[in-house]
Amino acid sequence: MALSPIEKARLSARLLTLREQLQSGALHALQVVRATAEALDLFQRLGGRVPDTQSAPAAADPGQAAALQAQDELSDDPNSANYRYQDTGYISGSRKELAAAAIKSARDSGQMLRVTDIDFKALEENPRQARELIKKSNLFGQVDWEGLQAGGMTPQAGYLVDRVYAAVAVMPSEDNPQARKSYALGIETLRTRLEQAKTVDDVTGTMKEIAGELLGTRLNAEESERYTLLVAKGRELSAQRRGIEEANTALQNAMYTASAASAKAQHAYDHRIKRGWKIEPEHEKSVADAAAVYDQAKKAWGDELAATRDEISSLREQYNDVWQEQQAITDAAQARNLKSPEAQAWASLGERFIKATMYRKLRGSDSFAGHVANAKAGDPPSWDWATKERAKPVKRASKKRITFTLKVVEQFERVGGRPVAVASTRELERLCGFRAVQSGNWVLSDFVSAKWHVEQTAGAMQDMADVLGINEEYLGFGGRLAMAFGARGTGGKGAAVASYDPIERVINMTKMNGGGSLGHEVLHALDNILPSLLRGEEGTSGEYATLNPEVMPEGPIRTRMYELQDAMATGAVRLTETIKINPSARATAKFNLDGRDNLRGVALAIKQAGSVEHAVMAVDDAFGEPKVKSLQKQKAQWRTLAAAYYAPDDATEVTAATGIPVSDFYREALNLDEGVAGKYWSQPHEMAARAFQAYLEDRLAEQGRRNDYLSCLADNKHHHFPELGMPFKPYPEGDERVRINAAFDQLFKTLRDEKAFEKAMTQTALLDAIFGVSND
């Protein structure tokens, strides 16, 4: 019966403990027997093969074995507790493996992970691994839409739930341990609550509750009591102010009435004069009485305003003080609530999710508001949306992608170099400063293979150190890089040649295919680890200096890295590009170039170019690389016009070698990636690793030396592709190869001059913090 990932991790952890106990020498004789028996049983359960104890170790030379055993007290017997090619350390701690295995097992089975299922303390011992594991694809699980339908959820409600789930970010909104834990809690809580819904109103009600928990205000008892008193005080002050203001308003209205009466009396009086009518004393008295009433009302209002101005001002100030205190209470409560587990959980699910909860507000999600409107109107009417194939079809690999891999030699040679004096994995660890050397089952049972790989690795690291002018013990970064032999993958047919794991920072060499690419993987390790060493702080697993030199501190090392990047990618070879053409562009081109005399500037250059390529490049030469948007637009228009002028009349597009100028090395890498930049072969760190292989082979050859285990066949003549009738060129060649080699020379000279490795290795505490080294 096959073991589950969690069971394998548990048994591996127990086997490690038994090995450490056996190696310590602290066990009594009976305890040694029992521990050995248990260890052998666990080893076999994990798939290991225990050779016949009556036969000699495979192909071991008796004289050499006896001499080595007498010298270092190590055994060539794979069953011995002192086997010379045993693990020197464990690259991943048992609790970390269990935590990772639990997540991967749940992902593979489609189960949603609960926060209580995850050992966050163990997982966060390696933040890089935690960052890779705590993400939506691992935690969310598969939704049982059929079960929800059977439980009474309407198709409209289900569709809304699906849209909410789609809004959840693929990773936590922040990169820290608390955000990762909050993210897991958010996913668990969201699914638990939404999958209890039956109707659209249930879903929108839950989203409203979540918005309240995220952005709402909840007061504690003391705050609530004080807030209630302040509300009452504010109402009292408002009532007093309104009473005074209402009295003032009444006097003001009386003044307006008296003013209107006075104006009316004056108008009647003026009208009689205009008409020439006789003015009687009562007419004059009417005007005077109305004016007196107005003056009296105006004075009364003015006097009241003056009398109450200070009181109203005081009441307003008191009310403002009360309001400010209320606001301070709510601000403090809201700030506290934002730190609550619920609010942090919702916030960690990302901006799109937050906007979905606020769909009824101005800053909310318009698209989710549209989904809600459709759902309330009865769309979708059935569960068809959930029963359709939800998985995206896997793109069929091309013949090129299936068959092309870098070749390795059948027999590995080493010519020249220092003698290798390494007779165990422990000595290899000390020689190169590795954190640990971990072995797969074949190392633990196959003496000859183990011995060969350990000796070849030692020789390769020594030869590489000679080329770089850097002591080999520094190439293990003072015990922060680990080496594994067939212990990190599944092996078998099609297994990788070798690999570098940026999460655990370990190079793995496979049994059959590992040789020939050690230098390639060491460059990956250097590329990935160097920025962290130089900055003095941990970086992400996807951080490579050749991919983005800006991740390193400003200085000569970063400058050399930019120069290496430039040497690999820039050149005079133009990439092909497709330029779209429409009828109006062709008409414009003919009008501007054939319908006018005395052409000048760009128009004349296009007319004289003679071909699409030369015409478009003439435009590029004329405009250069403009920074102003208006000039960028003009350049694009002239490029289209140039292509249209020389294109066939019925063409809707033209393909020409008028793209950005690049190196042959980059163009060939892009060809291997089927034109998709950054797919694999054209990634800067992959180009750098292949270029480093070429560099190592060239510099060794200059000294009459060779090491096929370090790197082999880094020459394009070895990579002809007969199925397609064309050669592939994964490595730099010619003048570009010379230029790239010179850039590597300058990079490693600068590393030596700056004593980058020496300075970094002296900061043990810093290194432990960066690489998460622990002794669990």
Average per-residue pLDDT in the chain? 84
Residue 430 amino acid letter:
R
Cβ contacts of 68 within 8 Å, gap of 6 or more: 74, 76, 84, 423
Q: What confidence score (pLDDT) does residue 21 get? A: 73
What's the mean pLDDT in 499-508?
90
What's the mean pLDDT in 278-300?
93
Q: Does residue 612 share a domain with residue 564?
A: no
C-alpha span between 568 and 202 (Å, rounded): 58
Do 69 and 1 contact (CB within 8 A), yes or no?
Answer: no
Q: Is residue 77 part of a domain?
A: no
Q: What confidence score (pLDDT) does residue 54 get? A: 34
Do 661 and 574 contact (CB within 8 A), yes or no?
Answer: yes
Q: What confidence score (pLDDT) does residue 126 get? A: 79
Q: Give me the DSSP letters along 123-175.
A: HTTSHHHHHHHSSHHHHS----HHHHHHTT--HHHHHHHHHHHHHS-SS-SS-
Q: Is the pLDDT of residue 264 over 80?
A: yes
Do 699 and 467 contact (CB within 8 A), yes or no?
Answer: yes
> Any idea which of 62-76, 276-290, 315-329 has the lowest mean pLDDT?
62-76
Do 771 and 129 contact (CB within 8 A), yes or no?
Answer: no
Q: Is the pLDDT of residue 485 over 90?
A: no
Q: Is residue 59 part of a domain?
A: no
What's the mean pLDDT in 715-730?
74
What distances in angstroms separate CA 198 from CA 146, 152, 186, 206, 222, one per listed residue?
Answer: 13, 6, 21, 11, 38
Nearest to 484 by CA among 463, 508, 465, 468: 508
For the chain, what is the largest distance between any 2 Cα atoms, rounded to a whole number of angstroms? Answer: 151
Q: Which range in 28-32, 391-395, 601-605 is most confidently predicted, on average pLDDT?
A: 601-605
Q: What confidence score (pLDDT) does residue 341 get? A: 86
Do 665 and 568 contact (CB within 8 A), yes or no?
Answer: yes
Q: How many CB atoms lie within 10 A of CB 518?
A: 26
Nearest to 125 by CA among 776, 772, 775: 772
Residue 131 amino acid letter:
R
What's the mean pLDDT in 366-386?
92
Residue 276 amino acid letter:
G
What's the mean pLDDT in 75-82?
69
C-alpha span between 444 and 454 (Å, rounded): 13
Residue 370 amino acid letter:
G
Q: Give yes or no for a cis peptide into 172 (omega within 30° of 0).
A: no
> Any idea which of 412-426, 481-495, 608-622 has the lowest mean pLDDT?
481-495
Q: Does residue 566 share a domain with residue 441?
A: yes
Q: What confidence score (pLDDT) does residue 398 get? A: 39
Q: Is residue 80 part of a domain?
A: no
| Secondary structure element (H or E) that encloses residue 437, with its range | strand 437-439
Q: What confidence score (pLDDT) does residue 487 get? A: 64
Q: Is the pLDDT of residue 302 over 90?
A: yes
Domain carrying residue 29: 1-49+87-91
Residue 644 amino acid letter:
A
Q: Does residue 587 share a domain with residue 562?
A: no
What's the mean pLDDT in 638-664?
92
C-alpha span between 248 and 257 (Å, rounded): 14
Q: Is residue 602 part of a domain?
A: yes
Do 531 and 555 contact (CB within 8 A), yes or no?
Answer: no
Residue 677 amino acid letter:
A
Beta strand pairing call for 506-509 and 482-485: parallel
Cβ contacts of 320 within 8 Å, gap of 6 or more: none
The answer for 286, left when phi > 0, alpha when psi is -120 to 50, beta otherwise, is alpha
Q: What confidence score (pLDDT) does residue 606 get? A: 94
Where residue 119 falls among pLDDT bands split at 50, 70, 90?
Answer: confident
Do 120 and 165 contact (CB within 8 A), yes or no?
Answer: no
Q: Is the pLDDT of residue 210 over 60?
A: yes
> Any idea which of 300-314, 427-441, 742-756 has the lowest mean pLDDT?
427-441
Q: Give me the DSSP letters along 66-118.
A: HHHHHHH--BS-TTSTTBTTS-SS-SS-HHHHHHHHHHHHHHHHTPPPPGGG-
Better pLDDT: 101 or 707: 707
What's the mean pLDDT in 353-358?
92
pTM listed for this prediction = 0.63
What residues does 707 pair with on adjacent strands? Answer: 414
Q: Give me the DSSP letters along 671-720.
A: HHTTT-TTSSTTSHHHHHHHHHHHHHHHHHHHTT-EETTT----SGGG-E
Q: Give me the DSSP letters along 237-284.
A: HHHHHHHHHHHHHHHHHHHHHHHHHHHHHHHHHHHHHHHTPPPPHHHH
| Secondary structure element (H or E) that encloses residue 508, with its range | strand 506-509
**Look-up of token digits 């050859």:** 701
Total structural domains within the chain: 5
Q: Is residue 79 part of a domain?
A: no
Q: Does residue 580 share a domain with residue 557?
A: no
Q: Does residue 527 share a domain with residue 455?
A: yes
Do 497 and 514 contact (CB within 8 A), yes or no?
Answer: yes
Q: Is the pLDDT of residue 53 over 70?
A: no
Q: Is residue 677 part of a domain?
A: yes
Cβ contacts of 571 within 8 Å, gap of 6 or more: 661, 662, 663, 664, 665, 666, 736
Give the residue ranges of DSSP H helices in 553-628.
Answer: 556-569, 583-594, 601-609, 612-623
Residue 572 per-residue DSSP state: S
Q: Is residue 402 part of a domain?
A: no
C-alpha span between 615 and 620 (Å, rounded): 9
Q: What confidence score (pLDDT) does residue 132 get? A: 86
Cβ contacts of 462 within 8 Å, gap of 6 or more: 417, 418, 420, 431, 472
Q: Is the pLDDT of residue 313 over 80?
A: yes
Where residue 766 falls among pLDDT bands split at 50, 70, 90?
Answer: low
Q: Does residue 629 share a domain with residue 592?
A: yes
Q: Is the pLDDT of residue 110 over 90?
A: no
Q: Is the pLDDT of residue 232 over 90?
A: yes
The answer for 433, left when phi > 0, alpha when psi is -120 to 50, beta otherwise, is left
Nearest to 97 by CA among 5, 177, 9: 9
717: exposed, middle or buried (C-beta count within 10 Å: 0-12, 13-18, 19+)?
exposed
Give the model confidence (pLDDT) of 156-194 as tens digits.
999 999 999 999 999 998 989 999 999 999 999 999 999
| Secondary structure element (H or E) that encloses residue 327, with its range | helix 281-338
| Secondary structure element (H or E) that encloses residue 579, with its range | strand 577-580
> Any idea which of 88-102, 226-240, 329-343, 558-572 has the lowest mean pLDDT?
88-102
Q: Is residue 61 part of a domain?
A: no
Q: Does residue 363 share a domain with residue 254?
A: no
Residue 611 per-residue DSSP state: S
Q: What confidence score (pLDDT) does residue 540 get? A: 83
Q: Does residue 198 share a domain with residue 294?
A: no
Compute the C-alpha angle 453/455/456, nearest 5°: 65
Residue 531 amino acid letter:
P
Q: Is the pLDDT of residue 623 over 90?
A: yes
Better pLDDT: 19 or 513: 19
Give backbone dihedrals phi and psi of 499, rounded to 5 degrees, phi first. -155, 160
| Secondary structure element (H or E) that encloses residue 17, with its range | helix 5-24
Do 459 and 707 contact (CB within 8 A), yes or no?
Answer: yes
> Any idea which of 51-55, 385-389, 683-687 has the lowest mean pLDDT?
51-55
Q: What confidence score (pLDDT) does residue 444 get? A: 67
Q: Does residue 677 share a domain with residue 535?
A: yes
Do 170 and 135 contact (CB within 8 A), yes or no?
Answer: yes
| Secondary structure element (H or E) that encloses residue 498, with its range | strand 498-501
What's the mean pLDDT in 50-67?
41
Residue count of the chain? 776
**Look-up of token digits 């790239």:** 740
Q: What confidence score (pLDDT) does residue 696 get? A: 97
What's the mean pLDDT in 516-537?
91
| Secondary structure element (H or E) that encloses residue 301, with its range | helix 281-338
Q: Is the pLDDT of residue 117 over 50?
A: yes
Q: Does residue 210 share a domain with residue 147?
A: yes
Do 710 and 521 contact (CB within 8 A), yes or no?
Answer: no
Give backbone dihedrals phi and psi of 511, rounded to 5 degrees, phi first. -65, -50
Residue 653 per-residue DSSP state: E
What's the mean pLDDT in 99-110?
75
Q: Does residue 228 share a domain with residue 202?
A: no
What distances in angstroms separate CA 47 from CA 39, 52, 485, one per listed residue?
Answer: 13, 16, 16
C-alpha span between 457 and 707 (Å, rounded): 10
Q: Does residue 37 share a domain with residue 7?
A: yes
